[in-house]
Structure 1
Amino acid sequence: MQNSEFQGNKTSASSLPKVERPRLHDAVVDHLRQFIIEGALAPGMKLNERELCEMLGVSRTPLREALKVLAAEGLIEISPNRGATVSRMTESEIWETFELMGGLEAFSGELACERITPAELAEIKAIHYNMLACRVQNDLPGYYARNHEIHDRINQAARNSALRQMYVLVNRRLQALRFRSNFQTQKWDSAIHDHDEMIKALESRDGKKLAAILRQHLLDKRDAVLQIQRADSVASNQTEPSDRADLSL
């Protein structure tokens, strides 16, 4: 990672607390994963071990162990010659992975409507109201954390360990993209509406309806992500020649 690349995202990343030693390994993984989700470590960015060690307050050994975990999750790529870089998904990978995730979430919703307890439903509703408060405050990280927790709680309420394992694995690859899909206000508000409908379907134990909402919700996320990526690509290709010359100096 070039110093100039990292500086623009350093404020957001450095706002997280230093890692506490008793939970060192898990905490380093969690911090790096959060940096990737919120874009402090952007797709394609080369990771600078020295800078990350300084930021997290750890040595290179736990950092490298954490990088191996994230590589296994598909969030970063490690090359013997190039070191570690943040993974960048192709359009076809995004399309297919969101499509798969839509199916997993739909199945979670169906099972959750059959198996969720009143206490679990009450907890999800409380998280939903906290999520709405974050929207009013324009707090995207807070909103996303609660949004993520709602989907996760629905999956847990399905009480299917095989589904749970696959859900967690696939969702980790998509978290950064799901976070980014809310950058546009219209998309953010549309997601809020979807969540309102999810709560209603859960309350009425309507598994078919919740499954349909969740599946479409994920496909809408996919389309929003692809739209953003294509717009970024067009903007990049339209860089003025004079700008390119300046960058090459």
Structure 2
Amino acid sequence: MDEAAVDAREGLVEKVANYLREHIVMDHFQPGQRLPERKLAEELDVSRTPMREAFKILAAEGLVVISPRRGAVVADVSPQDVQEKAYVLSVLEQSAAELCCANASDDDIAELQALHFEMKAAFLRRDRQNYFRLNQAIHNRIVSLSGNNSLIEIHATLSRQLYRVRYLSNLKNEKWSVAMDEHEAIMAALEARDGKQVGNELRNHLGKTWMKYANPAAGDQPLADVDTESG
């Protein structure tokens, strides 16, 4: 197979994986649901080979489980798994924020501020989908500006595994204005180049978001203060 054919095949597999990933995230495919290989291949007008390759990608991301008898099934992440992964994600973003303050240029900070203003506009319009998209873009950009490739790679993996949970948490967030205020504090600390404060603000913000989904009884406790060994 020549290089062009390989690139085309890889592009098709990624396209299928993106379609499945989005539908899992948006809860169109729910935890425990079997993903019918033949039916999906027909719907997307692809052969079953790229579909199987896409399943493997999503399995590596922790979004599906592949078993000999049932095929690909949407993964069901337990509250404890969410807590544990969210804890690691919060630590990563805290570290990334400190590195971002040290490494980012003034233009980089201005770009983050522009994204923040766009997100605030979505908040004022009560446009949750665009708010969530921009929210994720801000978090990912802060991590990217850390300049630490290992941190960026691990964060990307965990983010993909928890993306669905975070999306659903965003839809259920009854204290949306509080989350917006927390982002205002994050941006203020970024502009001041206060790495420690940005890290603390981010970790506190993530802790509240995730724990309200995984353990509603945790209330507004920061993630670091919640017992992750409880069920």
Scaled by the length of structure 1, what TM-score is found?
0.78
> In structure 1, what is the equivalent of residue 200 of structure 2?
212
For 1:87-108, what per-residue CA distance to the aligned partner results, in whole angstroms no more than 9, with x for missing partners?
1111211111111111001001
For 1:37-79, what per-residue CA distance to the aligned partner results, in whole angstroms no more than 9, with x for missing partners?
1111122221122332244332221111111001011110000
Structure 1 residues 55 and 67: alpha-carbon distance in aligned structure 2, compared to 1, 3 A threshold: same
CA distance in 2, matches of 1:185, 1:102: 18
The residue type equivalent to 1:160 in the other structure is N
CA distance in 2, matches of 1:228, 1:49: 36
Assess if the C-alpha contact under 8 Å between 1:109 and 1:207 holds in 2: yes
Find out whether 1:89 has 2:42 as its counterpart. no
Runs of at least 4 residues off by over 6 Å: none
Find out whether 1:162 has 2:159 as its counterpart. no
Assess if the C-alpha contact under 8 Å between 2:29 and 2:74 holds in 1: yes
* Residue 143 (structure 1) shift: 1.7
* Residue 200 (structure 1) shift: 0.8
Assess if the C-alpha contact under 8 Å between 2:96 and 2:146 holds in 1: yes
Which of the residues 106, 110, 113 maps onto 2:94? 106
CA distance in 1, matches of 2:10, 2:57: 18
Q: Which runs of 5+ in 2 are unaligned?
A: 1-7, 218-231
CA distance in 2, matches of 1:82, 1:204: 53
For 1:4-42, what per-residue CA distance to the aligned partner results, in whole angstroms no more than 9, with x for missing partners?
xxxxxxxxxxxxxxxx98831222222211111111112
Secondary structure of 2:170's counterpart equals coil
> In structure 2, what is the equivalent of residue 120 of structure 1?
108
Structure 1 residues 57 and 134: alpha-carbon distance in aligned structure 2, compared to 1, 3 A threshold: farther
Calculate percent identity across the aligned residue pairs.
37
Find out whether 1:189 has 2:160 as its counterpart. no
> In structure 2, what is the equivalent of residue 132 of structure 1?
120
Q: Which runs of 5+ in 1 are unaligned?
A: 1-19, 230-249
Aligned residues: 210
Structure 1 residues 142 and 114: alpha-carbon distance in aligned structure 2, compared to 1, 3 A threshold: same
Structure 1 residues 36 and 188: alpha-carbon distance in aligned structure 2, compared to 1, 3 A threshold: farther
Which of the residues 122, 131, 154 maps onto 1:143? 131
Structure 1 residues 136 and 211: alpha-carbon distance in aligned structure 2, compared to 1, 3 A threshold: same
167-176 or 46-55: bigger deviation? 46-55
CA distance in 2, matches of 1:144, 1:55: 28
Structure 1 residues 202 and 48: alpha-carbon distance in aligned structure 2, compared to 1, 3 A threshold: same
Secondary structure of 2:139's counterpart equals helix
> In structure 1, what is the equivalent of residue 22 of structure 2?
34
For 1:119-152, what per-residue CA distance to the aligned partner results, in whole angstroms no more than 9, with x for missing partners?
2112111111222222233332222111111000
Find out whether 1:199 has 2:187 as its counterpart. yes
CA distance in 1, matches of 2:76, 2:10: 32
CA distance in 2, matches of 1:71, 1:22: 17
Assess if the C-alpha contact under 8 Å between 2:80 and 2:214 holds in 1: no
Backbone CA RMSD of aligned residues: 2.0
CA distance in 1, matches of 2:175, 2:18: 27
Scaled by the length of structure 2, what TM-score is found?
0.84
For 1:151-203, what per-residue CA distance to the aligned partner results, in whole angstroms no more than 9, with x for missing partners?
00000111011111111111111111111111235233322222111111110
Assess if the C-alpha contact under 8 Å between 1:38 and 1:179 holds in 2: yes
The residue type equivalent to 1:74 in the other structure is G
> In structure 1, what is the equivalent of residue 49 of structure 2?
61
